[in-house]
Each structure stands twice: as structure tokens, then as C-alpha cells.
Chain A
Amino acid sequence: MVEGRARVALFVTCLVDLFRPTVGFAAVKLLEQAGCTVEVPRAQTCCGQPAYNSGDRADAKTIAVQVMDAFSGYDYVVAPSGSCAGMIRLHYPKMFVDDPTSRARAEELAARTWELVSFLVDVRKMGEVAAQWRRVATYHDACSGLRELGVRDQPRRLLASVEGLELRELLNPEVCCGFGGTFCVKYPEISDKMVSEKADDIAATGADAVLAGDLGCLLNIAGKLSRQGRQVEVRHVAEVLAGMTSAPPIGAPRS
């Protein structure tokens, strides 16, 4: 583990804020374990991806500037989502090609923005966690984290240190689950086909839980599994790594 404290701003992400604060608190706990001081800038809302992916450049840019303002001055910005972190790291700089000042700011922010688990492993050199979870679980590689940020081995490495946990790989861990932001409601039948295949893949492993690093995918997968009546526990990987698995799983009844 890296010595010395780092001042980290948590980018909560709009889905975690709204649906699953537990993931946010799990992220805080893990970051603190990794020797970071965590702050949560109040001026944050969303990374602007819905606007960006819908072709609304103007709004996407305004929101990006707002994020740059809210997160200036911290050593790092960390998000429990490869999708939002990828948006800031890869897409913000591209949005300001014809505006050198904002572009420089965007690049500066991009350089210190990380997806949670890769930050823990690659930057803070965390090699293990002190968590316990008696489950057979499988892991879905969310698209942006995997292909934009190269998040693949890091979560597996930390999960391997969770006591009692057996990880069983999917046949196609790297195939999209069909969430895709607005895609899942614009083309519900296609999205349904994709998430059904993901659910089948999950079921075929015989695992009793599925984990991923992005809440969008998890809501989609949990929604499908529960519609099919399949009893598979769905959680964000941070919850397991932080040992915060007492809350009911995503989409499960409250006990």
C-alpha cells in the first residue's frame, strides 16, 4: 500500500446517489482504508453522459465545466463507476478541442480521475481487503470500465482476497448487458434480449451472486433476474470489498 495521505474527492455518480447510497459509503470506507482523506463536493450532480451520448454537446459541455469547477484542487477524483470515470478521463478533453483553456483544465482533471477499484489497486497499491463473504459469485465486466479504462484484473485481484468468496467466471464476461443508458428504454426489446443472455450466462455458472463495478448494469441485470424469478444476489463490487453486505442486495426485498 502507498504511504502518505491523499486528498480524494468522491464522485458519487447520479445513480449511486439516487438508488444505492451504500455503494458510496463502501467507496468512502475503501478509500479511507487505502489511506485517503475523502471529501464529497456538494456542487456535483452528474457527469453529463446522458446529454453527451444523446448528441447534446452544449449541455454536456456546461455540465463538464461544472464538474471541473466542483472537483478542482483535489489530489484525485474517484468514482465507483467505470462509465462516469471514463466519461471524465476520456471524453471531457475531447469535448473542448476548439477551446484550449477548458481543454487544458479537462486534461488536468482527466489525469487525476479514476475508477474506484483500479484506483485502489493501481494507484494506492492495495493488494487485498479485510472482508469476508461466504458466496459463490460471478463478475460482469462493465463495458466502459473494461474497454475505456482497462479495468479487468483489479477487481478480480481484490475479490480473490475476500475470505469465503469463490469467483466463477462467466462464459462472456466482456459482452454488454444491454443497459447503455437511454438505449435500454429506446430499444427495450433489443436490450431485453441482451440482458436475458447475460442472465442466462450468470445462471449457467451456478453462482449465487453477481458483482460488477457499475450501477447502471447492476440495475439492469438485477431487474431482469428478478423478473425471471431467479434468486441471484446482485451487488456492486465495492460493497463486497468493503465488507458492507448487510444491506439487502439490489432489487431484493427488504427484510
Chain B
Amino acid sequence: MNFIHNTKAIFKRELKAYFESPVAYVFLVVFLMLTAFLTFAVGRFYESGQADLRGFFLWHPWVYMILVPAAAMRLWAEERRSGTIELLLTLPVTLTEAILGKFLAAWAFLTLALILTFPVLLTTLYLGNPDIGVALAGYFGSFLLAGAYLSVGLLTSAMTRNQVISFVISVVVCLFLLLAGWPPVTDLLIRVTQDHTSLNWLVTGVASLSFMPHYESIQRGVIALRDLAYYASVIIFMLFATHLVLENRKAA
């Protein structure tokens, strides 16, 4: 089928492009060092006396907030800056194929980074008896979270030909989506607005858009349909918006 063939061709090109530049290796090293540092040094993994991965996955939303926009910023902005978008979009591929191919390639790259954190899992297995089911759910939740961040980064990358601008906007949007549902922030907002029921609704409404509650519930080992549907709708919405942005672009 043409759709799969073309998406695959773009996927392969894009994934290879990551490894053609040193940026991919820098990315992987920074990701691994940062998660290890936060887990073992800041999170006091050994001192906590618990052999589980909670202290590891706790940091993922924050690490991804910086690193995923960095991995995504190139995807469309560079095509626009260098003019190759004119080549790509005059080849017989649809915009949907191009967007999906790029998205899946970047997601595969992020998944590779996640898989390379396996020594952390091995350490907990060595130290104690963690619940494997919960650990795998944790990995799965982190994988979904990376996809959701990535879809935001893909959209901001399509909006500009400047990678730095894409990065900054994407970090801001992700930070918003994160904080909106982060208990310290929501608790504060609920306290501030408790006298105004209408505002209270707004706070919970915005909070329900956030990645955070869905991420945390999967981290507890529960993979609910509600959370899967949430991630799927965020990703589809962002890819759809990317399609709109690229369709209505005035030039390269």
C-alpha cells in the first residue's frame, strides 16, 4: 500500500538523519546522565531503602520537558529553513504520510533513549524484588508521555523555520500542560479560587488537560482506557494541528 510504503520511506530517512549528526549521541548521553543523576543523586535512590522505579519515573516529565522539544525542533523547522520542504512536498507523498513518518521516527528515537535506561531496571532487580508489572507499566507510561510531548514539539516545529523558536514555544507549552495538573499548583489554585465556584471549575477543567494525572495513574501500575484515550487524543489533535499549519503555510 502506498500509504505505508511512503510513511516507511520517510520514517527511515528521518530516523537515519538523527544518527547522521552528533546531536543524537549528545542527546542520548544527556538523557541517560540526567535521569541517572536525578534518580540516584537527587532522588536518593539507595537511601530510600525501596527497590522500585518510582524515584526514576518521577523525573521523566521534567527531563522530557527540555529534551523532547530539542529532539523535535528540527523535524519541520529545518525543512523549512533549508527549503527541502519544497522537495518533500512535491514528491508524490501526502502531507499526512510525511507528518506520520516524521513523528514515528522521532518517537522511535525517544523510545531508544528510554530503552537504554535498562541498567536502572537491572539495578532494582539486583537490589530487591520490584513489582515487574508496575515497572513495565511505568515504562509504558513514560513512552506515552514522550509521544505526547513530541506531538507538541512537532506542531511548534511546523510553525516556524527557526529551531530555537520552536524549542522555546514547545518548552513553554509543555511546562503549562505539566504544571496545570501538578498537585502543588492545582492545590494552590483550588485554595485561591475556593470562594468562586465558577473559577474552581476552570481550574479542574484545565487540570484535566494536563499530562500529569494520566502519567501518575499509569505509574501506579493501572493502565486505564481513560488514560490511553487521553494520550491518543492529545497526539491526534497535535498531528492534526500540524497538518493544518503546514497546509496553510504561505511559503517554505
Q: Do A and B come from one complex?
A: no
Binding site for A on B (CB under 8 A): none
Chain A contacts to B: CB under 8 angstroms:
none
